[in-house]
Amino acid sequence: MPSGRTHDRITLWALPWIAGLAFWQTRSSNITLLIAGGFLFGGLMFGPDLDIYSRHYQRWGWFRWIWLPYQKSLRHRSFLSHGPIIGTTLRVIYLCCVVGSFTLLMLLIIQKLLNLQWNWQITGESMGRSLIFYATEFMALFLGMELGAMSHSLSDWSGSAYKRFKKKGIAGVLPSGKIKKRKVSSRMTRQTKRSRSRKSVKTAENKKI
Ligand SMILES: [Zn+2]
């Protein structure tokens, strides 16, 4: 697994390529900026390693504690944090829930303190409208974050595959080796269980005799 510094380098080196590709495909400076910004955010702060005490986690500074429940509920390098699409989607939902609950709490406190009448229905409707209106921008930002997270996960996987290759050769990289081993070991355990139960029946019979 590459170190945090290597992950950062990969993100920074890939950034001009991502930005160039985005501009070439979209011809829009706004969308390019959102994809590139999302890529930087995803690669440096909002990446899969938020499931552990990491550079990503430390970069949240004062607010890093918001990721503690996320870390507690996920195993490091699990599919839910490092998997494609699912990792970024879960983190976005998690962050939206945290930020949403705090905003709601703050608004309720302000409402009570200043005795204001807040129309929650209008607030909800305008939020929904802006989500639809800026759908392309949100998608661009999400794509950038996903690419940033994937550059991390891919380098994690290729790093471990390279280590296995150095240790065991090509067999270490191929998944079939593992499956065969698992099949053989499960067959062996089944056989030993059967022979053990036969032995116990025999000894019971001998005792009776
Ligand atoms: Zn990782």
Domain boundaries, the chain: 4-174, 175-209
Q: How far is the CA of 48 from the centre of ligand 1 (A)?
A: 6
Q: Which of 98, 100, 106, 47 is nearest to 77 (CA)?
A: 47
Position 57 scores a pLDDT of 94
152 Cα: distance to centroid of ligand 1 (angstroms): 6
Count of helix runs (H) and strand runs (E) in the chain: 10, 0
pLDDT at 165: 83
Percentage of the chain beyond pLDDT 70 is 82
User: What is the Å distance from ligand 1's center to 28 Cα?
Assistant: 32
User: How many angstroms does the Cα of residue 95 sit away from the middle of ligand 1?
Assistant: 19
The C-alpha atoms of residue 180 and residue 172 are separated, in whole angstroms, by 13
122-139 residue pLDDT tens: 888 999 999 999 999 999
pTM exceeds 0.85, yes or no: no
Q: For residue 209, what pLDDT is reported?
A: 44
The predicted pLDDT at position 179 comes to 46
Q: How many Å lie between the centroid of ligand 1 and the Cα of residue 161?
A: 14
Q: How far is the CA of 50 from the centre of ligand 1 (A)?
A: 8
Task: Give the residue ranges of the chain where pLDDT is below 50.
Answer: 177-181, 184, 209
pLDDT of residue 187: 56
pLDDT of residue 97: 96
CA distance 5 to 13: 12
